[in-house]
C-alpha cells in the first residue's frame, strides 16, 4: 500500500519536476556559466568575473538599475493608492450582489493583450491623439501638447498594466474581513483614520504584501511599456539586457545582467519584507 502511494506520487510529481528541471533550472545553469565567461585580450573564451565587475564599474549600468528599481517602487506605491479604494468599495460599500459584477468589470480590460492596451494609451495621449483633439476643439488648449514620451506617461502606463495584480489579492483579503470589526471599533469611538490604520491595514497586510511583490516584479521586468510610452529617456534595465543580447551580440554580459537583476530584486523584496515585518509564507498563502 505504502509503495503504491509512493509510485502514484512519483508519477504525478514527474511532470512538475521535469518542467522545473528542463525549462527553468537547466537554462539558468547555462546562463550562469555563460555569464561567468568572457573574452580575454587574445579573444579566447575564459572563466572570468569581468561581466559582473562591469556592472559596478561602468556608471551607466548601475545607474540604469537604480533608476529602474526606484521607478518600480514608485509604481508599486501608486498602484496600491489607486487600487485600495477600489477594492474597499467593491468589498465593503456596494451590495454583495454587485461585487462579482464589478470584479468582472475590473478584469475585463486585461482580456486584451498588454501591447494592444499600450497602443490604446498611445492613441489617446499622442500629439495628434484623441485627448489633444478634444482639448483643442473645446478651446482649452491653443496648440496640442505632447503627452507621450515622458516619465509621467510611462509611470501611468505601468500602473495601469499592473493594477489587476494588486486589486485581486486586496479584494480577497478584504472580503474575508468581518464587517463587525469595523462596526465595533466605531462603537468604541475610534476615528476613521484610526480604524483604517489600526484595523483595516493590518488585516489586509498579507494581501497588500503579495500584491506589492507581484507588481514590483512586473514593473521591474517590464519591457514593452517603458520602451513604447517612455520614449527617449526611459532606458529600463530589461532593455539593457535586451541590448546586450541583441544589439551588441554580447550574450555573456547580458546573462550576467540577468542574474544581477534576479539577485538584486530578491534582495530588495527581502528587505521590503523585513522593513514591513511581513512573512513571505503568510503573504502567499
Partner 1 sequence: MKKLLIFATITMMWLVTTAQAAEPLKILTWKGYAPQQLVDKFEKETGIKVELTLTNNEEMIAKLRATRGAGFDLAQPSQDRISSVQAEFKIYQPMDYSKIDSAQIIPSMLEAVQKNTKVGDASYGVPFCYGTSGLIVNTKLAPEAKDYSALLDKAYAGRISYRLKRPTLIALAFAGGDNPFAKYDDPAAYKKLMDGVAAKMIAAKPYVKNYWSNGDALLEMIRSGEVTVAMGWDNGGWKLHAENPDIDFVAPKSGALGWIDTFAIPAKAKNVDGAYKWINFIMRPENAAVFSNMEKYATASKDAAKYLDADVRDNISRSFTAADIDNIKWYPPVSAEIEQLEGKILDMVKAAQ
Binding site for partner 1 (CB under 8 A): 58, 60, 63-64, 126-128, 146, 148-149, 227, 231-233, 235, 239-240, 243-251
CA angle in degrees (0–180, nearest 5) for 92-160-140: 105
- What DSSP designation does 142 have? S
- Which residue, 166 or 229, has its beta carbon nearer to partner 1? 229
Q: Nearer Cβ to partner 1, position 153 or 210?
A: 153
Nearer to partner 1, 37 or 227 (CB): 227
Our CB check for partner 1 shows the closer of 3 and 128 to be 128
Min dist CB 249 to partner 1, Å, is 6
CB of 59 to partner 1, least distance (A): 9
Chain CA centroid to CA 168, Å? 14
Residue 207 CB, nearest distance to partner 1 (Å)?
36
Which residue has 495584480 as its cell numbers? Answer: 165
3-class state of residue 46 by DSSP:
strand
Q: Give the dihedral sign, CA 27/29/31/33.
A: negative
Q: Where are the beta strands (DSSP E) in 25-125?
A: 37-39, 45-47
Residue 125, all three cell numbers? 495621449
Distance CA 102, CA 107 (A): 9
C-alpha cell at 152: 509621467
Least Cβ distance, residue 10 to partner 1 (angstroms): 34
Residue nearer to partner 1 on the CB measure, 39 or 198: 39
92 vs 126 by CB, closer to partner 1: 126
Tell the smallest beta-carbon distance from residue 13 to partner 1 (Å).
Answer: 31
Query: Which stretches does DSSP call E strand in 73-112?
Result: none
Q: Can you count the helices (H) and strands (E) in the chain?
A: 15, 2
Of 176 and 248, which has the nearer Cβ to partner 1? 248
Q: Do the Cβ atoms of 147 and 131 come closer than 8 Å?
A: yes
What is the spatial distance between Cα 191 and Cα 196, in angstroms, rounded to a whole number?
9
Min dist. Cβ of residue 19 to partner 1 (A): 21
Q: How far is the CB of 97 from partner 1 (least distance, A)?
A: 45
Amino acid at each position: 500500500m505504502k509503495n503504491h502511494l509512493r509510485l502514484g506520487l512519483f508519477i504525478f510529481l514527474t511532470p512538475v519536476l521535469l518542467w522545473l528541471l528542463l525549462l527553468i533550472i537547466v537554462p539558468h545553469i547555462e546562463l550562469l556559466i555563460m555569464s561567468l565567461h568572457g573574452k580575454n585580450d587574445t579573444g579566447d573564451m575564459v572563466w572570468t568575473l569581468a561581466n559582473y565587475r562591469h556592472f559596478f564599474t561602468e556608471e551607466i549600468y548601475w545607474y540604469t538599475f537604480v533608476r529602474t528599481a526606484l521607478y518600480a517602487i514608485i509604481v508599486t506605491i501608486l498602484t496600491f493608492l489607486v487600487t485600495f479604494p477600489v477594492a474597499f468599495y467593491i468589498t465593503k460599500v456596494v451590495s454583495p450582489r454587485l461585487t462579482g459584477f464589478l470584479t468582472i468589470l475590473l478584469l475585463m480590460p486585461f482580456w486584451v493583450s498588454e501591447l494592444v492596451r499600450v497602443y490604446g494609451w498611445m492613441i489617446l495621449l499622442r500629439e495628434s491623439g484623441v485627448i489633444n483633439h478634444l482639448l483643442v476643439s473645446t478651446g482649452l488648449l491653443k496648440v496640442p501638447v505632447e503627452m507621450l514620451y515622458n516619465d509621467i506617461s510611462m509611470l501611468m502606463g505601468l500602473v495601469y498594466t499592473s493594477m489587476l495584480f494588486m486589486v485581486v489579492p486586496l479584494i480577497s483579503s478584504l472580503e474575508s474581513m468581518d464587517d463587525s470589526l469595523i462596526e465595533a471599533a466605531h462603537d468604541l469611538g475610534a476615528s476613521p483614520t484610526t480604524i483604517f490604520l489600526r484595523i483595516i491595514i493590518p488585516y489586509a497586510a498579507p494581501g497588500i504584501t503579495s500584491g506589492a511583490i507581484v507588481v514590483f516584479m512586473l514593473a521591474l521586468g517590464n519591457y514593452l511599456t517603458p520602451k513604447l510610452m517612455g520614449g527617449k529617456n526611459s532606458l529600463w534595465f530589461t532593455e539593457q539586457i535586451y541590448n546586450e543580447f541583441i544589439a551588441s551580440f554580447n550574450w555573456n554580459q547580458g546573462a550576467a545582467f540577468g542574474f544581477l537583476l534576479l539577485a538584486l530584486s530578491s534582495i530588495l523584496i527581502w528587505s521590503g519584507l523585513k522593513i514591513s515585518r511581513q512573512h513571505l509564507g503568510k503573504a502567499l498563502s
